[in-house]
Structure 1
Amino acid sequence: MALPKANRLKSRKDFQAVFREGIRRQSSHLTLRALRPSCSTEPSLDAAINKPLTNSGQLASTQIGISISTKVSKRAVVRNRIKRQITAVLHNFLPKLSPGWRLVFVVKPTAAESKCVSQQFLQELEQLLAQAEVFHGNS
């Protein structure tokens, strides 16, 4: 199950901004890089990078990217399977996430060695999102 287009982090600039300015939380198989939504309403010079506000002034939906390198596995089939499993778990968490966040999940090489991947990813993703205070009610 793919993430909705509004919830996908696509551009290189967005990924770089998250890596440069975001906070980092780690677990055994994943690293979460999270960029908090900026609350400023005045336009800045780098408005393209800090764009969590929509045209109507409300916070945009949370955008999520997944980074998985060939260090995890040389086989694209394995990398894509891991990516699909993470995406499926994240799809369930979308309603619980606070708006405006930009998240990048970096998969560590230990993830390919794990057998019961889905359940483990579910627990780790929930733990990482809670640590970064991305869920509704945390700010």
Structure 2
Amino acid sequence: MGLPKAHRLRNRQDYRAVYDQGIRRYSPHLTLVALFSQAQANLVSNSETMIGISISKKVSKKAVVRNRIKRQIKSVIRAKLTKMAPGWKIVIVVKPKAVECKYEHYLRELEELLKQATIINGY
């Protein structure tokens, strides 16, 4: 099961804006690039956080492996979605070393990255 449609980054322009203007936080297996959209947050009172996942063939040549990693990361995001502050556009970039990770590693690393970027409410 993927992310709800309202929480997905879909356009190339959205990805480009996040990459060009966003803040970056790093961990051994993931990179988080996040952009707070003040205009979007003011425009709609309950604007959703939009998330995209970027994983290249450098991680693995096999689509099966890349898709498994994406599914695990989406599962972690769904678990943390209610704690995230609205109005953010986030891209999660998977590094090649991520092939060796399990679900628990993604959970810890992603939570730590979200705290560092002050995206999770209460931090």
TM-score range, shorter chain: over 0.9
Give the alignment's TM-score, normalised by structure 1.
0.84
* Equivalenced residues, count: 123
* Aligned counterparts of 1:120 and 1:137: Cα–Cα separation in 2: 22
Provide the residue aligned with 1:108 in structure 2: 95
Which consecutive residues of structure 2, in runs of 5 or more, have no partner in the other structure?
A: none
Amino acid at match of 1:74: K
Provide the residue aligned with 1:26 in structure 2: 26
Amino acid at match of 2:76: V
Provide the residue aligned with 1:120 in structure 2: 105
- Once the two structures are TM-superposed, the CA of residue 36 in structure 1 deviates from its matched residue by 1.4
- Once the two structures are TM-superposed, the CA of residue 75 in structure 1 deviates from its matched residue by 0.3
Give the alignment's TM-score, normalised by structure 2.
0.94
Provide the residue aligned with 2:52 in structure 1: 65
Q: 2:90 matched to 1:97?
A: no
- Once the two structures are TM-superposed, the CA of residue 37 in structure 1 deviates from its matched residue by 2.6
Q: Looking at CA atoms only, which structure, 1 or 2, has the larger radius of gyration? A: 1
* Aligned counterparts of 2:76 and 2:42: Cα–Cα separation in 1: 26
- Once the two structures are TM-superposed, the CA of residue 52 in structure 1 deviates from its matched residue by 4.2
SS class of match (1:25): strand
SS class of match (2:15): helix
Which consecutive residues of structure 1, in runs of 5 or more, have no partner in the other structure?
A: 41-50
Structure 1 segments of 4 or more deviating over 2 A?
Answer: 51-54
Greater helix proportion: 2
Provide the residue aligned with 1:10 in structure 2: 10
